[in-house]
Amino acid sequence: MDNRPVIFHDSGIGCLPYALFFHSRNPGEDLICVADRENFPYGQKTKEYLVDALTSLTEKFISLYNPKIYAIVCNSAAVSALPALRERFPGLPIVGTVPAIKPAAEASKTRCIGVLGTQRTISDHYIEELRIKFAPDTTIVGIAAPELPEFIEHRWLDADEAERLDTVKPYIAEIISKGADTLVLACTHFVLLKDEFRRAAALYGSKENELMIFDSVEGISRRVEFLLDENDSRLRSGEGGWQKVPLKITGDGEPDTAWKNIAAHFGVAAEKL
């Protein structure tokens, strides 16, 4: 029995759908969401910057919370810093989020896969490594959408359905025009627009070439659960878990009204880290 928390960490609110999905399946586990307001957005940072920033944050997590598992629910952070963090902190199981190329390839009929992410993720060689490993017969159409995380952080909560749909339409139109029949959401923030991506796909696609959309929410939960259950479930908690999941926010000052409103929307408590 191990009552230490599991940490889900992103540059912003992208951690919330991942953490809350995990919480819905594992209500007995304590977990903490961390939104790194201080270093947002990750997708526009260099690899070296992210390695340094995440190393410092991980040291802080260990000092404050002594987590039993650390899930990096950010593609940009994972593709940049995951190997360095695992080497630096060998005693801490670290789960990294990577683009869902494998399931997209298994579903694709046109053998053309769209990948939508930040500039840091799209430009990283890891995308090509995943293609070679899981789908060598496919073509990857990678599109960077650096403004979407900003939109989700600052406009998503207040935007109506029409504005959200208009925001994603150009990306769906481009993906479909290039022959892709699958789209990988390679930024955890984008999961919050998944319904809009699906509606846009229905507008631009066809029944013969229906665009299927993939993310890593369930995959991350399954991986954390695997780590909890291995070795006779020695990391599993025996307690009741948090009644209200905390969202810890880095940076100076208390969370402003926008952050508190986002936290309230998801039923979590926004607190300064």
User: Rg for the chain (alpha carbons), in Å?
Assistant: 18
| Amino acid symbol at 24 | S
In angstroms, the CA 222 to CA 207 distance is: 31
For residue 269, give both structure tokens.
């408590």
Cβ contacts of residue 55 below 8 Å, gap of 6+? 81, 84, 85, 88
Cβ contacts of residue 38 below 8 Å, gap of 6+? 250, 251, 252
33 is annotated as an active-site residue: no
CB 172 within 8 A of CB 195: no
15 is annotated as an active-site residue: no
- How is the chain split into domains, by residue range? 6-98+217-272, 101-214
Cβ contacts of residue 82 below 8 Å, gap of 6+? 72, 94, 96
| Amino acid symbol at 151 | F
Q: Which of 15, 33, 112, 187 is catalytic?
A: 187
Cβ contacts of residue 74 below 8 Å, gap of 6+? 9, 10, 11, 14, 15, 42, 97, 187, 188
Closest alpha carbon to 23 in 34, 14, 32, 13: 32
In angstroms, the CA 76 to CA 145 distance is: 12
**What is the value of pTM for the model shown?**
0.93
Task: Please determine whether the domains at 6-98+217-272 and 101-214 fall in the same fold group of CATH.
Answer: yes
pLDDT on residue 257:
87
In angstroms, the CA 47 to CA 84 distance is: 11
CATH class for the region spanning 6-98+217-272: alpha beta
Angle in degrees, 0-180, between the axes of helices 161-177 and 147-154, rounded to the nearest 10: 160
CATH class for the region spanning 101-214: alpha beta
Q: Mind spelling out the 3-state secondary structure of 199-219?
A: HHHHHHCCCCCCCEEECCHHH
Per-residue pLDDT tens digits of the chain, which is 273 residues long: 899 999 999 999 999 999 999 999 999 899 999 999 999 999 989 999 999 999 999 999 999 999 999 999 999 999 999 999 999 999 999 999 989 999 999 999 999 999 999 998 998 888 999 999 998 999 999 999 999 999 999 999 999 999 999 999 999 999 999 999 999 999 999 999 999 999 999 998 666 678 999 999 999 999 999 999 999 999 999 766 666 788 999 999 888 888 889 999 999 989 999
In angstroms, the CA 34 to CA 9 distance is: 5
